[in-house]
Amino acid sequence: MASSTPFYVPVSLPHTALLLSDVQTQILARFPKETQEAYLGEIQKLLSFFRAEIALPLIIHHTLPFNLNSNAFVSPYNKLAKWVTQLEAKGFFGSAPSDPHTPNYAIPAVLAPSSGWGSKDEIVLPKVQPSCFGSSDLLSYLRARGIKHVILVGLTTMGSILGTARAGADLDFHIICVREGIIDDEKEVNDFLMERVLPKFVDVVSMEDVLALSR
Q: pLDDT tens digits, residue range 126-164?
A: 988 889 998 889 999 999 999 999 999 999 999 999 999
Residue 167 and residue 89 share a domain:
no
Residue 156 and residue 60 share a domain:
yes
Tell me what pLDDT residue 50 has. Answer: 94
Q: What is the CATH number of the domain that holds 132?
A: 3.40.50.850
Give a yes or no: residue 8 inside a domain: no
Which range marks the domain in which residue 80 is found? 68-104
What is the number of structural domains in the chain? 2
Low-confidence ranges of the chain (pLDDT < 50): 1-2
Tell me what pLDDT residue 202 has. Answer: 98
Query: Tens digits of per-residue pLDDT, 60-83?
Result: 999 988 777 777 777 888 777 777
Nearest CA among 111, 83, 105 for reference residue 93: 105
Residue 100 and residue 112 share a domain:
no
149-155 vs 16-21, strand pairing mode: parallel
Residue 72 and residue 56 share a domain:
no
Tell me what pLDDT residue 1 has. Answer: 43
Residue 75 and residue 57 share a domain:
no
Rounded Cα distance between 151 and 174, Å, is 8
Give a yes or no: residue 32 inside a domain: yes
Residue 137 and residue 74 share a domain:
no
Give a yes or no: residue 120 inside a domain: yes
Tell me what pLDDT residue 175 has. Answer: 98
For 32, 56, 183, 184, 194, the CA distances from 162, given in Å and listed in that order, are 22, 24, 11, 11, 9
User: Over 14-78, what HEC string results?
Assistant: HHEEEEEECCCHHHHCCCCHHHHHHHHHHHHHHHHHHHHCCCCCEEEEEECCECHHHHCCCCCCC
Rounded Cα distance between 59 and 111, Å, is 12
Tell me what pLDDT residue 88 has. Answer: 73
Tell me what pLDDT residue 169 has. Answer: 97
Residue 37 and residue 74 share a domain:
no
Give a yes or no: residue 7 inside a domain: no
Tell me what pLDDT residue 68 has. Answer: 74
Tell me what pLDDT residue 148 has. Answer: 97
pTM of the full structure? 0.90
Tell me what pLDDT residue 98 has. Answer: 58
Residue 96 and residue 126 share a domain:
no
Nearest CA among 178, 37, 182, 55 for reference residue 111: 37
16-21 vs 58-63, strand pairing mode: parallel
Tell me what pLDDT residue 89 has. Answer: 77
Give a yes or no: residue 111 inside a domain: yes
Tell me what pLDDT residue 46 has. Answer: 96
Tell me what pLDDT residue 2 has. Answer: 44
Q: Please, which residues have CB within 8 angstroms of residue 143's CB and are 6 or more apart in sequence? A: none
Tell me what pLDDT residue 178 has. Answer: 98
